[in-house]
Structures are given as C-alpha cells and as structure tokens.
Amino acid sequence: MGVSLLMAVGLMLVLEGVLPFAAPALWRDAFRRLTALSDGQLRFMGLMSMLIGLALTWLAA
C-alpha cells in the first residue's frame, strides 16, 4: 500500500509539472484565471476533479 501511494503521488507530481515546464506562460495565464473564479466555482471544479479521479481509480481496480 505504501509503495503504491508513493508511486501515485510521484506520478501526480510529474503530471502537474508538465505544463509549467512545457509552457510556463500558458500555465501562468491559466493560474491567473483560476484565481479570478468564485469560491463556488472552485469548489465545483474540485468536486468534479475528485469524482473523475475516483471513477478512474475504480475503473482501474
């Protein structure tokens, strides 16, 4: 379990780092637009992200 969790976190960090590495200006612009969203919009995006991640995890298991 511990090794799988460590691998999952490592993979997440690699995927999170691709856009800032490949296109820093695009990443900065996207981040700037995210900070302009309301709390409700951010919560909705977070909820959708969690549900999609949960569904993908369920499908992979």
Q: Rg (Cα) of the chain, in Å, rounded?
A: 14
5-23 pLDDT per residue, tens: 899 899 999 999 999 999 9
Among candidates 17, 2, 14, 4, which has minimal Cα distance to 57? 4
pLDDT band for 41, please (50, 70, 90 cuts).
very high
State the total domains in the chain.
1
Quote the domain boundaries for residue 49. 2-60
Q: Residue 40 is encoded by which pair of tokens?
A: 């409700």
SS (H, E, C) the chain: CHHHHHHHHHHHHHHHHHHHHHCHHHHHHHHHHHHCCCHHHHHHHHHHHHHHHHHHHHHHC
